[in-house]
Chains A and B, each alone.
Chain A
Amino acid sequence: MNKIKIVNDKLEKINLCKCINVEYIISEYIFGINVVKIHVSNDTELEIEIDLKEDVRLNFDITIDKNVKFNLFILTKGNKGKIQYKYNLYENTVCNIEKFQNINTIKEMMITNLNGENAAINYNFKTISNNKESYDFHIFHNSKNTFSNIKNGGVCIKDGSIIFQVSSFVPKNITNCVVNQSNRIINLTNNESKIKPNLYIDCNDVEASHSALIGTFSDSELFYLQSRGITKEDAIKLLIRGFVTSDITNLKLQKNINKNLDKYWR
């Protein structure tokens, strides 16, 4: 599979096909922002692996041509970082993103521009938080008949805390859009986590939904699993594994997730 591997400020391109063009611009300044420009011109898949051992700032600028179906799998690990992802989608572009993160501290922003009719983004994100994590998502429906489905899930352990701020925008006269947000945080700590789901809709002809849930697993779920002889500890492990791997279809990403989960819940 097409792959980009980033370790701190070094980028490696692995088996990239012609339909993926990657440009990497390293900042000349000490605390500057490195920019990764990705242009996708045909149906394809890409895997991005990011390992931030030092405090690195990265900007991804990802443009997907019209009529292109693009599957993106992102794995982020390491210590600390600030990352911005900007996705530009055009007419009939479909972008499916599966992403897993296990990093100590991260501040991240995602901007999605749905610029052409029938542009669609399916975003499925899971994280295990050991420390402070903050995510800010902005989804702009700039054209009619556009679709966004944003699913975020996080598990807080140790000193972990998560903030999900998700804002979807549908301006006036941008009709027939579908806007979905779904956010859930499993908080296994006493720290405070927040979800701020925002729907800024200025158009009557829209199908929109949002959900936000912070808590632990329900007593009913635990009772059901325990009623089959599974100990409470194992039941919680099973539920965490299920929650973090649900909707992740990429086998390599699944394997990585399981490897990370084994670190905490073997």
Chain B
Amino acid sequence: MNTLKIVNLTVKVDDKIILKDFNLDINSGEIHVLMGPNGIGKSTLTKVIMGDPTYTIVDGKIYYNNVLLNELSTDERARMGIFLGMQLPMEIEGVTNADFLRTALTTKEKENFKLYEFIKKIDKTVEMLDMKKDMIHRGVNQGFSGGERKKNEILQMYMLNPSFIMLDEIDSGLDVDSLKIVGESVYNYYKQNNPGILLITHYERILDYIHPTHVHIVSDGKIIKTGDYSLVREIEKYGFDKTNSKKVNSIGVCAIKEKIENE
């Protein structure tokens, strides 16, 4: 069992607090979805977990399998099995996808790295994701469309075989067919490898393929509501504001009454 544990996390960037007293536990086999309006810290959370030096942890702790991540470098976290599929994957001039992945896997697997196995796996995954075969010899994300970049993130995920996956708006920029391929690929990986997944999305459609076990609404840098898949339907129907205010009203009217009603 792999567990990511976030305890009272407060994060700032450029003197602005983005996350405040944020708490979340994710175990293997759980798919958590973070939803919420733009600019409230969802992407920040994934980057902080991954160790982006742009963000400063003011307070709180992040653990992965009881190892404190706060002081570890990004590459050390990645080698522990944490993966971030980014919202805007970087274009790296001149570095081919093949060189990039080979370097990453050689660093991780050292003398266990097998070139033939690597080539076989990459060919198979490229085919599964319906990507152009020559993309593996092209620069990382160089000249890629938005959809190709997102597929490339999933390709990297398959190659690196992580145990905890964060996908930040992996559905943005994808057409209907690509969304199906990406969604199904992520879910197949989940079924085969049982990782913990933290998914950030604004839309319900990706969740047709990746079925969440937990849904959270984030506002003002913390989780304000948690539920199951029905919460997504609620958000789709009422929007974030109304869904949130329903919760606020219930606490404001009488929290004890709500508890009795639930029982």
Chain A residues in the interface with B (C-beta under 8 A): 219-221, 223-232, 234-235, 238-239, 241-247
The contact string, 1 if C-beta is below 8 Å from chain A, for chain B 29-54, is 00000000000000000000011111
Q: Are A242 and B94 in contact (CB under 8 A)?
A: yes
Q: Are B103 and A238 in contact (CB under 8 A)?
A: yes
Asked whether B93 is an interface residue with its Cβ less than 8 Å from the other chain, the reply is: yes
- Of B84, B94, B95, which contacts A227 at CB under 8 A? B84
Contacts of A229 in B (CB 8 A): 75, 78-79, 104, 107-108, 160
Asked whether B89 is an interface residue with its Cβ less than 8 Å from the other chain, the reply is: yes
Asked whether B17 is an interface residue with its Cβ less than 8 Å from the other chain, the reply is: no
- State A212–B14 Cα separation when bound (angstroms): 28
Interface size of B by Cβ–Cβ distance < 8 Å? 30
The contact string, 1 if C-beta is below 8 Å from chain A, for chain B 66-102, is 0000000111001100011010011011111001110
Q: Are A220 and B104 in contact (CB under 8 A)?
A: no
Given A229-B78, A230-B103, A246-B86 contact (CB < 8 Å): no
Contacts of B146 in A (CB 8 A): none
Given A219-B53, A242-B94, A226-B89 contact (CB < 8 Å): no
- Of B93, B100, B108, B139, which contacts A225 at CB under 8 A? B100
Chain A: CB-nearest residue to B75 = A226
Given A229-B79, A230-B103, A231-B75, A224-B160 contact (CB < 8 Å): no
Q: How far is the CB of B173 from chain A (nearest CB, A)?
A: 17
Q: Jot down 30 A-B pairs with beta carbons below 8 A, ordered by A.
A: A221-B90, A223-B52, A223-B74, A224-B89, A224-B90, A224-B92, A226-B51, A226-B73, A227-B74, A228-B75, A228-B78, A228-B101, A228-B160, A229-B75, A229-B78, A229-B107, A229-B108, A229-B160, A230-B100, A230-B104, A235-B75, A238-B99, A238-B100, A241-B99, A242-B92, A242-B93, A242-B139, A243-B93, A244-B94, A247-B94
> By DSSP majority rule, is chain A's interface helix, strand, loop, or mixed?
helix
Contacts of A230 in B (CB 8 A): 75, 100, 103-104, 107
Contacts of B185 in A (CB 8 A): none
Asked whether B156 is an interface residue with its Cβ less than 8 Å from the other chain, the reply is: yes
Contacts of A245 in B (CB 8 A): 94
Q: Are A241 and B75 in contact (CB under 8 A)?
A: no
- Of A227, A231, A239, which contacts B92 at CB under 8 A? A239
Q: Are B94 and A243 in contact (CB under 8 A)?
A: yes
- State A242–B139 Cα separation when bound (angstroms): 8
Contacts of A234 in B (CB 8 A): 103, 107
- State A227–B166 Cα separation when bound (angstroms): 11
Q: Are B104 and A228 in contact (CB under 8 A)?
A: yes
Q: How far is the CB of A213 from chain B (nearest CB, A)?
A: 11
Q: How far is the CB of B106 from chain A (nearest CB, A)?
A: 9
Contacts of B103 in A (CB 8 A): 230, 234, 238
Contacts of A225 in B (CB 8 A): 92, 100
Chain B: CB-nearest residue to A184 = B93
Q: Are A231 and B93 in contact (CB under 8 A)?
A: no
Query: Which of B83, B95, B100 gathers the greatest number of chain A CB atoms within 10 Å?
Result: B95
Given A223-B53, A224-B89, A229-B160, A239-B95 contact (CB < 8 Å): yes
Chain A: CB-nearest residue to B81 = A229
Chain A: CB-nearest residue to B54 = A219
Chain A: CB-nearest residue to B77 = A227
Q: Which 4 pairs of residues, A with B, have the shortest CB-CB distance?
A: A246-B94, A242-B94, A242-B95, A229-B78
Q: Are B139 and A246 in contact (CB under 8 A)?
A: yes
Chain A: CB-nearest residue to B90 = A224
- State A100–B257 Cα separation when bound (angstroms): 77
Query: Which of A220, A224, A246 gathers the greatest number of chain B CB atoms within 10 Å?
Result: A224
Contacts of A228 in B (CB 8 A): 75, 78, 100-101, 104, 156, 160
- State A219–B13 Cα separation when bound (angstroms): 15
Q: How far is the CB of A182 from chain B (nearest CB, A)?
A: 12
- State A229–B79 Cα separation when bound (angstroms): 5
Q: How far is the CB of B77 from chain A (nearest CB, A)?
A: 8
